[in-house]
Structure 1
Amino acid sequence: MSGQRWDMGKDTLSTLAKKTGGNTQDLGGLVKRLAAAAQPLEGKLQGAGHDAFIAFKGRVDSIANDLNAGLAAIAKGQSGMDAATRTGESDMAQAAKKAEGAANFDGAKFTKR
């Protein structure tokens, strides 16, 4: 399984970008669910803990949006890397084919004297 983890096949980056994109909304939603799940504790907290919870609660949407935007940017970067890798692979194949066509393989043959 560890060999699969570092596999850089031709679809690795596009698959990773799709998975990251799918998880983007999940992370923001989890932050909102955390705030909702902690709601019953609000009345039991006092002092600085209460104040910190109220501040967190007030920023939940902003935190979720920031996380979503950050992961969306990562997914966009992964898509860009995928496009660059695919273009590089195609360019390399074309250059190799061109070089092979120009090579003089007959010049490397040994002849009997």
Structure 2
Amino acid sequence: MKFDMGADTLTTLQNSTSGSLDEMHAMLMQLRDAAEPLASKFNGAGKEAFARFKSETDVIAAALQHAMSRINEGQAGMNAAFADGDSGFKDNADRAMGSQNFNAARF
């Protein structure tokens, strides 16, 4: 299996992660909103459990957002490190080639 990591791979991954976060958050809010009509059907302990469900969706959404944003930050750091390494590799190769006498290799 060959893996070819292009210069824009990590940027694409970051964008995808950000899009996935937005999508998950929207779906979680849709779930909460879809259950809203049931609120009037509960009394007593059932009503309390339903209220907890609604408040927990907000907690879960916040936790997901925090976790995914941290993943996205990590991807940004990897992207910066990759770009720095790529640039450093080129600079080192240019320096090494500049110090060589290629005329000596002529036949």
Which category describes the TM-score, using the shorter chain as reference length? 0.7 to 0.9
Structure 1: stretches of 5+ with no match in the other structure: none
Find out whether 1:55 has 2:52 as its counterpart: yes
1:28, 1:63 within 8 Å by CA — same for their partners in 2? no
| Residue 9 (structure 1) aligned with residue 6 (structure 2) | yes
Following the alignment from structure 2 to structure 1, what is the Cα–Cα distance between the partners of residues 90 and 13?
Answer: 24
Q: Secondary structure at the match of 2:69?
A: helix
Q: Aligned equivalents of 1:65 and 1:32: distance in 2?
A: 11
> Unpaired segments of 5 or more residues in structure 2?
none
Shift of 1:38: 2.6
- The alpha carbon displacement at 1:75 in A equals 1.2
How big is the shift at 1:107?
A: 3.8
Q: How many residues align?
A: 105
The percent of aligned pairs where both chains have the same amino acid is 39
Q: Distance in 2 between matches of 1:28 and 1:66?
A: 10
What is the TM-score with the length of structure 2 in the denominator?
0.76
Deviation, structure 1 residue 41 = 4.6
| Amino acid aligned to 1:90 | S
Given the two structures, how large is their TM-score scaled by the length of structure 1?
0.72
Give the distance between the partners of 2:21 and 2:4, measured in 1 at CA: 23
**1:107 and 1:59, CA in 2 relative to 1: closer, same or farther beyond 3 A?**
same
Give 1:34-113 correspondences, 5 Å limit.
34-41=31-38, 43=41, 53-109=50-106
C-alpha root-mean-square deviation of aligned residues, in Å? 2.9
Residue 38 of structure 1 aligns with an amino acid whose one-letter code is A
3-state SS in 2 of match to 1:72: helix
Correspondence for 1:29? 26
**Runs of at least 4 residues off by over 6 Å:** none
Q: Single out whichever of 87-96 and 65-74 deviates more from structure 2.
A: 65-74
Looking at structure 2, the residues matched to 60 and 108 of structure 1 have their Cα atoms a distance apart, in angstroms, of: 70
